[in-house]
Structure 1
C-alpha cells in the first residue's frame, strides 16, 4: 500500500526574486506529486515573486494579512517595531494556516521567512526544514535553527552554521542547489551582437557580466572597479560591463551607487545597468566572462548556470566559490576585495581565444556532470521521509554531516 503524499509548505516573502527563489521553485516543479504535495505561500502578492509565479503558472496561496519579521537592517525601525508588535497575531494566523492546509513539513528558504515561520511551525506540530543559503555566521541559523528545526540543509560546506547553539549532528546535510541542464545553448555571437545593438555600442565590443541581486554581499561596486582596473591596463580594448539584476526590496539603492561609482571612475560609458532579465540564457551567452566579486557567497547560482552555458567565470576565492571552481581548470579564483586581481585572468580570456575555449569546455563538461535536478530532489525527499519517521525511498540518501 502506497504512503500518503507528504504535504510541504513553501512560504516566501514575495518582495524579491533571486537565485534562492529560483532554486526552490525548480525543486517544487520537479516533485512527483504522488509523493510530495507542495503548497506555495506568498506574503506580498502582486510583487516580483508573484509575477514570476503567474508567468510560469505556478499556483500559490496569497497571505497578505500576515507580517514578515525582516532581519534587514535597512527596513526601517518603525516598520520593524510594528511587525514585532503584531507578531503574536501573525504567529496565530500562520498556525491556523498550517493546520487548515494540513502541512506536514514547512520548508523555509530565506532569512525573513526562517525567522517568521520557525516558531509557529513548531507550535503547530509540523516539522521545519531550514534550507540555509546565507552567511554561516547568521544569528538565526546558529540560534533558532538548532532549537526549532527538525533538519538543516545548507547549499555548501561553507554555509554550514559556524557556532550552533545546540549540536546539529544527524540534523545537518549539504545539498547543492538544483540546476536544470540547458536544453540548448544560444548562438553566442548572435547574443553578443544583440547586446551591441541594444546598447548602441561598436560591433567589436566584448562584454563581462554580473548576474544577481545588487546587494552588499555580491559586491556590485567591486565589479565596476574590476572593469575600471582592466580598462586602465588595456585602454584601447573595447569592453563593457553589464549588471543584470535589481536592488533588494528592503536594501540600499546599490543601482544608484553603482552608476555613481562608474561616473566617479570615468567609465560611465562602460557600465550598463540591465535590470532583471528572463530568460537569462541569451544574456548569459552574450557576455564573454562572468565576474563574481562576491564575499561570503554560500554557493552562487549564476556561477553554475554560466559554466553550464560555457561562459567562463572569474570569482573571488571566498565563500562557496572554491567548492564550484577549480582554479585555472574550470575557471579562475582571485584574491577577494581586490578589483585589480581580476585583470590578468580577464586579459587571458579576452585576448586568447584558445584559452577562452579551454576554460569554457572544461567548465561546461564539469558542471553538467556534477549538477542536476534529480540528485537534489532525491536528497530533499529522502530528508522529508526521515524527519517524518517514514521509510526512505529507494534512492541514494544524502549523507548528513
Structure 2
C-alpha cells in the first residue's frame, strides 16, 4: 500500500502530477491510499471528478517548513510535532502502509518522521526550492529516496550524501490527440470582452505568487506596447492567489494603472478546462524565477502555443532557445519584446516554433515513462516486488 497525503486546500501542478500518477498505477501491484487533511475543498472535488476515493487524515497539526519565531512558538510547535507524529505513525501502522509518498513542503514536514517510525518507507518528491531546509536537512536524514522534478531543484547543500538515493523524474503529462481550434478559442475571448476582431492574446497561466512574477507579466505588456503602441495586444492572466501566501493581484492592478495598460490586462481567475485558454494565446509568457519545472510550460508546448520563458530554474531544461521556444534574461521585461514580436508578426516563425515544441514535448514528457520510473523506485526502496504488498480495500 502506498499512501499519498495532501492538505486539500488547492489544486496546483504538484497535485495534478500526483493524481495523474495515482490514476495510472497498476492496481495489481499497488494499492494507493489518498489522504486529505482538509476534505470539502478544492482537491476533494478534483479527486471526485476523477473517481479517486480518499480517507480523511487524523486531526493533527499540519506542519510547515516555515519555522515559528520566538522561543514560545518553537516550544509549542515542538509539542504539536510530537503529537502529530505519534497519531500519524499509528494511523499508518494500522493500515499496514508500505510507502509514504509526499509531494509538497507541508506534507514532507508533517509525515516524514511518522512514516519512518511506522516502519514505512518514505519517498520524498521534491518540486520546490533547491535551498529549502526540508530537502537539505530532513530528506537526507529521513527519506529512503528523493525524487526531484528537474536537475535544477536537486538539494544544494544536503547535510548527508544523497547521490545514492536521488533521482530526477519529470512530471507526467497527458498527450492531447485532438488540439483545440486556435482561432475559435481566440474568438471566444474577443467576444467575451467585446474587443476588436483583430485582437491578439498572450498569457500568464499559473498561481498568483511572487516567485512566478505576475507583476513582471504586466510590465512585459507595457514594454511591448512601448515599442509597438498600435498593436492590438491584450494580456490574459489565468490564476488565483495561494491561500497561504501574499496576494500580488493588488500590486498587479496598481502597476498596470501606473503604466497605463490597465485596459490591456484581463484578470481571468481560475478557468477549466485550461486547454482552450492556452490555445487562445499567441504565446505563453513565463516570467518566473526559481521555477522548478512548470507544468503550464509543457502543456503549452503540447498544445502548440509557443513559450517565452526566463532563462532560470527548470525552464532551461524544458526549452531549447530559438528552437522549441525562447529563453530570456530574468527580471527584464524588455527582454521578452523581440521574441514576442517574432511570434506575433511572423506566421512562419510561429508555426516553426510551435511545431518543434510539440514534437519535443511528445518525445520527452509522458505519463507512461513517469509512472514506470516511480514504480521502479517503489520496488527499489521496498527491496522486493511490489506485487507482494497485497491488496486491501479503502473507503472514503
**CA deviation map 1:231-272 (0-9, x unaligned):** 111110011111111111110011222222212211111111
Using the alignment, how far apart are the partners of 2:223 and 2:57 within structure 1? 47
Instruction: Say if 2:68 and 2:77, in contact at 8 Å, map to a contact too.
Output: no
Q: How large is the Cα RMSD of the aligned pairs?
A: 2.1
Confirm whether residue 308 of structure 1 aligns to residue 302 of structure 2: yes
Q: Aligned in 2, Cα 1:228/1:258: closer, same or farther, shift over 3 Å?
A: same
Question: 183, 187, 192: which is aligned to 1:193?
Answer: 187
Instruction: Say if 2:68 and 2:74, in contact at 8 Å, map to a contact too.
Output: no
Give the deviation of 1:85 after TM superposition: 4.0
Alignment of 1:163-174 (within 5 A): 163-174=157-168
- SS of corresponding position for 1:344: helix
- Which stretch of the first structure deviates more once superposed, 316-325 or 273-282? 273-282
Confirm whether residue 296 of structure 1 aligns to residue 290 of structure 2: yes
* Aligned residues between the structures: 387
Q: Aligned in 2, Cα 1:64/1:83: closer, same or farther, shift over 3 Å?
A: farther
Confirm whether residue 335 of structure 1 aligns to residue 329 of structure 2: yes
Using the alignment, how far apart are the partners of 2:74 and 2:43 within structure 1? 22
Using the alignment, how far apart are the partners of 1:158 and 1:346 within structure 2? 26
Using the alignment, how far apart are the partners of 2:320 and 2:63 within structure 1? 39
- SS of corresponding position for 1:217: helix
Using the alignment, how far apart are the partners of 1:196 and 1:387 within structure 2? 53
Instruction: Say if 1:69 and 1:80, in contact at 8 Å, map to a contact too.
Output: no
Using the alignment, how far apart are the partners of 2:193 and 2:66 within structure 1? 34
Instruction: Say if 1:69 and 1:84, in contact at 8 Å, map to a contact too.
Output: no
Aligned to 1:216: 210
Confirm whether residue 145 of structure 1 aligns to residue 145 of structure 2: no
Question: 182, 187, 205: which is aligned to 2:199?
Answer: 205
Question: 28, 36, 44: which is aligned to 2:38?
Answer: 44
Instruction: Say if 1:175 and 1:376, in contact at 8 Å, map to a contact too.
Output: yes
Using the alignment, how far apart are the partners of 2:275 and 2:201 within structure 1? 15
Instruction: Say if 2:65 and 2:134, in contact at 8 Å, map to a contact too.
Output: no
- Which stretch of the first structure deviates more once superposed, 207-216 or 139-148? 207-216
Question: 175, 181, 192: which is aligned to 2:175?
Answer: 181
Q: What TM-score comes out, normalization by structure 2 length? A: 0.94
Aligned to 1:373: 367
Using the alignment, how far apart are the partners of 1:248 and 1:69 within structure 2? 17
- SS of corresponding position for 1:274: strand
Using the alignment, how far apart are the partners of 2:78 and 2:233 within structure 1? 48
- SS of corresponding position for 2:211: coil
Flag the structure with more relative contact order, 1 or 2, with Cα contacts below 8 A and sequence separation at least 6: 2
Using the alignment, how far apart are the partners of 1:355 and 1:203 within structure 2? 22
Q: What TM-score comes out, normalization by structure 1 length? A: 0.92
Confirm whether residue 236 of structure 1 aligns to residue 230 of structure 2: yes
Give the deviation of 1:204 after TM superposition: 1.1
Give the deviation of 1:56 after TM superposition: 2.4
Using the alignment, how far apart are the partners of 1:271 and 1:34 within structure 2? 50
Using the alignment, how far apart are the partners of 2:152 and 2:364 within structure 1? 18
Give the deviation of 1:161 after TM superposition: 0.4
- SS of corresponding position for 1:360: helix
Q: Aligned in 2, Cα 1:161/1:221: closer, same or farther, shift over 3 Å?
A: same
- Which stretch of the first structure deviates more once superposed, 88-97 or 324-333? 88-97
Give the deviation of 1:72 after TM superposition: 5.0
Instruction: Say if 1:74 and 1:252, in contact at 8 Å, map to a contact too.
Output: no
